Structure 1
Amino acid sequence: MTEGRLGMVVCPMLEDEAIYNLKNDHEDKRIYLVKGAYNTTIIPKLKQHNVPYTMIDEHTVLNGDYDHDGYTVIIWTMFMGLHEDIDMLRMEVMNQIVKIHSAVDTILLYYGRCGRGLDTICDWAYEMVPTPVCIFRNKDGTICDDCICIPVGGTERYLKLLRKYPGRFYFTPAMASNFEGFLMSMELFNGLDVKNDDIMKIILDLAGYTTVMRVQTGNGDQEHFDENIKRFTDKYNLECTRLEDGWATNDLADLNYDNAKSTMTRWLNEGKKERVIPNAE
């Protein structure tokens, strides 16, 4: 039985994976969602998937003034707009780690490389804070590239997908429910006002984007998935196609969550800070 405090630092583009992990982990646990400005999309999804949680203010968490016996998960959601500048993203994630590390026993970053902005974040954390810090990795131990790489099972499968279906927007439920934030995360649109429809249509046309590929992960906001995609395609005069079954998988969500829990257990029991190496089998 797991004991300890797992801190989840969650990008909105991977909050569906965080909810999936909590829903499918049948161990007894307390789940706390830290109050903040970036909980807009995660709260209705937690409710839609019947994941019980308690809202808590950050001051209470950092002071330890809450019931944290047994297994406890504490969720911090981050600002999607950090992806506009990878240096800012790296700095804010570092700041978050420094701020919360003493309040938890292991930190799991629901992030990938994000334009290489977080390539060395775990090496930095190993030297700078006593708490183990994990990030989403492929089965071979390399860091996942981005928020599409993870739901399709890793970098190798992602590259195969890009070769088979180039020049498309790949929309998971998380992206469909926050498509303006998703566009802000793309290098193509850095510095642009994604709310200016005329400019966005021009850029999309010049870049050759004509199609949205619907990627059904089974997670996130299923109730409004197709509606959210239609809002996007109607707004920018795009077509929609569906990715065939067999591509989307929760393998990496399972792998990384399980390894974060194992890392935490080993840290608490043996004092070994190194992450548990993912099992590629």
Structure 2
Amino acid sequence: MPLLTILSCKILQDEVVHILENDPSVDEILVVANGQEDDFASKLQKTGLKFRFLSPDRLPDDTESYKNDPTRYSVMVYMVELALHEFPKILKTEVYKLLEELSKYSSGILLFYGLCGNVFDKIETDFEHLGTSCPVRILRDETRTVDDCVGATLGGCSEYLSTLKKFSDKGTFLFTPMYAHAWREIMRVDPEKPDKTIKMLRKVNEITGYKRVAKIKTGLSHTDNFDEKVAEFAEIFDFEVLEIEGCQNIFEDCYTSIKKEIVGC
């Protein structure tokens, strides 16, 4: 059976864990030890999932037996640095490089990404040249690629648009558990001078009209202290806290689809 690679933003690591813990047909989980895997590996351990670390420098040799073993279905997970989101063009360049490289060792690749500022709008077309040897797929709903990780967690593009319209009277941050965990990193709060950065963010929020933060209830519990992290964020910026429902449908459906494409069942 083949080797499926999941190339994922670190924000979606909980969703990757969810996929793996609910697929008993996975014979082996491989995690690329590229310096971005610590939290993800810890969550796999807490879930009771066994895995093997692979060195990014030895992927050609270490993955050969998995891709060519007709009796086993393996999943390799490669986490991508979160900070790249700040620079969409660099993010696109790095992900495209990874796809070209990982496609040499994979039977198929599923990106746990959305459009991310439209930089991935043509990614499946751009990698059509790989054909059936290594199909490249990205998170999609029934009509198109989802906008981003929040859109995927809400269930797709129409659900995302509906949510944005619902909150159109006031600016609202939409937090998943991992977003709440990493908001300081995402918003580039200087750990050496946090007060200065937060003061600037307060001014930006005032100018742009942001007044609320909404917790997206994903149904997952792999990231600790979600409520506490959101409460901290709300207190810092004097925000109202709301709750909205999310789901795992997009992740499950896209995973099932590419698995069927490369495994045949």
Output the TM-score relative to the length of structure 2: 0.87
Amino acid at match of 2:208: A
Confirm or deny that 1:226 pairs with 2:224. Answer: no
Question: What is the correspondence of 1:4-43 to structure 2 with a 5 Å cutoff?
Answer: 4-43=2-41
CA RMSD of aligned residues (A): 2.2
Shift of 1:181: 3.9
Q: Which segment drifts farther, 58-67 or 255-264?
A: 58-67
> Are residues 1:93 and 2:104 paired?
no
Tell me, in whole angstroms, the C-alpha distance in 1 between the residues paired with 2:181 and 2:41: 13
Q: Which runs of 5+ in 1 are unaligned?
A: 185-192, 270-281
| 1:21-100 matched pairs, under 5 angstroms | 21-64=19-62, 68=66, 69=69, 70-100=72-102
What residue is the counterpart of 1:103 in the other structure?
Answer: 105
1:1-36, CA deviations, whole angstroms, 9 ceiling, x for partnerless residues?
xx2100110101222211111111121420011102
Deviations 1:215-234 (A, max 9, x none): 11122534321122223223
Find the aligned partners of 2:181 and 2:38 in 1 and give their Cα distance: 11
2:191 corresponds to: none
Q: Please, which runs of 5 or more residues in structure 2 have no aligned partner? A: 189-193
TM-score of the two chains, using structure 1 as the length reference: 0.83
Task: Give distance in 2, aligned partners of 1:201 and 1:71.
Answer: 49
Greater relative contact order: 1 or 2 (C-alpha under 8 angstroms, separation 6 or more)? 1
User: What does residue range 1-281 of structure 1 map to in structure 2 within 5 Å?
Assistant: 3-64=1-62, 68=66, 69=69, 70-127=72-129, 130-140=133-143, 142-166=144-168, 167-183=171-187, 196-243=197-244, 247-266=245-264
CA spacing shift, 1:65–1:15, aligned 2, 3 Å: closer
Give the percent of matched residue pairs that are identical in Structure 1 and Structure 2: 25
In 2, the alpha carbon distance for the partners of 1:64 and 1:195 equals 46
Say if 1:220 and 1:109 are closer, same or farther in 2 by CA, change over 3 A.
farther
Distance 2:122 2:64 in 1: 33
Distance 1:138 1:183, change over 3 A: farther
| Cα offsets for 1:74-101 (capped at 9, x unmatched) | 1110011222222111111100011111
